[in-house]
Amino acid sequence: MTDAVRVAVATPLPPELRHLITEVDLRVELLVDDSLLPPMRYPGDHDGDPDFERSPAQQAAFEDLLAKADVLYGIPDTRASALAPAVRANPDLRWVQTMAAGGGATVKAARLTEDELSRVVFTTSAGVHGGTLAEFAVFGVLAGAKDLPRLQALQRDHQWAERWTMKQVREQTVLIVGLGGIGSETARLLKGLGATVLGVKRTAEPVEDVDEVGTVSALPELIARADAMVITLPGTDATAGLIGADLLASAKPGIVVVNVGRGTVVDEPALIDALRSGRVSSAYLDVFAQEPLPADSALWDLPTVLISPHTAALSSAEDRRIAELFADNLRRFLDGAPLRNVVDTREFY
């Protein structure tokens, strides 16, 4: 590619990181107007201040800026409803970088045509959040082994109980459902603690730090052997409700459940029933089928559930890591090389 490439900043990006994009190549032109973007409230706040509103003139200027771009850094306002108009108003648009590792779900929700999906490449931020989510996953496994809900209840009641034997992760078997970047890093950390690690992925080839790999069809047999299960899967039609009543009925009694993938992978009513029966001893959840989690969800009041408001992925370095990933892909784009983390527009992950 020899022509200039115009990159429009469609979601907030700290000014001190913009050089990572502009320094990729002299052909890169950055289109950004901070007055048209919502202020960030914290690192990784790609939505920005919810009270921010554009005037009609500002909205027209924002749309005009997007229409001049070859590449969008972020889905406009991180909303599927804004993506389709941006694609349709700009026949020169060739690539959109999403801020989320699971950005394929937003692309799917935009309901773009086959021609539009063929014309525009979408990439995700997969890999950026692997370390932080893997740490939360390990936290959940450890909390389940050390019986965190029991400890919290005793402390709340000012009760000094009789001592009991806590479980040791190094003596446990942990099943990781999804062995992408997050799952692989979780496996590495758990293996370092001495756990036996089982894994599930599309194909059953070996994965480093995983003792045994199976496909989805092996889930009932694998979950029956697991003391804990970590879910890292994306939300797709194929994964919706995968962790349901039948599978949980096959689980080893007292299994610990950790979800850092997508909430739609878990049948929440089935999980609630399994928690109430004790089949699942405790659950550590960062994602939910509906977010924010509705106030009337039974998950809020179950003493064996820890709720994290989809915040486990955030870190102070997230914005820099996404910008660095984008810069690497921008070099590839300019060189005509394959991009990393391209969304599969059939499965949308």
Span 179-190, pLDDT tens digits: 999 999 999 999
Q: Which of 16, 171, 221, 291 is catalytic?
A: 291
pLDDT for res 129: 92
DSSP class per residue in 173-214: EEEEE--SHHHHHHHHHHHHTT-EEEEE-SS----TT-SEEE
Domain co-membership, 116 together with 192: no
Q: Supply the CATH number for residue 100's domain.
A: 3.40.50.720
pLDDT for res 258: 98
Span 252-274, pLDDT tens digits: 999 999 999 999 999 999 999 99
Domain co-membership, 142 together with 64: no
**What does the alpha-carbon distance between residue 153 and residue 151 come to, in Å, rounded to a whole number?**
5
Band of residue 289 on the pLDDT scale cut at 50, 70, 90: very high
Is 346 within a domain? no
Kindly tell me if the per-residue pLDDT of 283 is higher than 60.
yes
Domain co-membership, 116 together with 164: no
Span 47-103, pLDDT tens digits: 999 999 999 999 999 999 999 999 999 999 999 999 999 999 999 999 999 998 889
Domain co-membership, 187 together with 109: no
Domain boundary among 307, 323, 344: 307
Q: Which of 188, 310, 320, 340 is catalytic?
A: 310
Cα dihedral 249, 255, 256, 261 sign: negative
Band of residue 349 on the pLDDT scale cut at 50, 70, 90: confident
Is 10 within a domain? yes
**What does the alpha-carbon distance between residue 110 and residue 264 come to, in Å, rounded to a whole number?**
18
Kindly tell me if the per-residue pLDDT of 280 is higher than 80.
yes
pLDDT for res 3: 83
Q: Which of 46, 129, 262, 321 is catalytic?
A: 262
Span 146-157, pLDDT tens digits: 999 999 999 999
Those residues with Cβ within 8 angstroms of residue 157's Cβ, 6 or more apart along the chain or in another chain: none
pLDDT for res 1: 56
Kindly tell me if the per-residue pLDDT of 316 is higher than 80.
yes
Is 190 within a domain? yes
Is 211 within a domain? yes
Q: Among 1-15, 151-165, 244-258, name the one with the lowest average pLDDT.
A: 1-15
Q: Which domain holds residue 50?
A: 5-127+315-335
Domain co-membership, 142 together with 240: yes
Is 345 within a domain? no
Are 272 and 285 within 8 A, CB to CB? no
Span 220-232, pLDDT tens digits: 999 999 999 999 9
Looking at the chain, the whole-number percentage of residues with pLDDT higher than 90 is: 96
Domain boundary among 307, 326, 344: 307
**What does the alpha-carbon distance between residue 249 and residue 302 come to, in Å, rounded to a whole number?**
19
Domain co-membership, 108 together with 157: no
Neighbour-count burial for 45-78, b at 16+ CB within 10 Å, e otherwise: bbbbeeeeebeeeeeeebbebbbebbbbbbbbbb
Span 321-331, pLDDT tens digits: 999 999 999 99
Domain boundary among 271, 290, 307: 307
Query: 310 an active-site residue?
Result: yes
Query: 291 an active-site residue?
Result: yes
Q: pTM here?
A: 0.92
Is 344 within a domain? no
Kindly tell me if the per-residue pLDDT of 6 is higher than 80.
yes
Is 348 within a domain? no
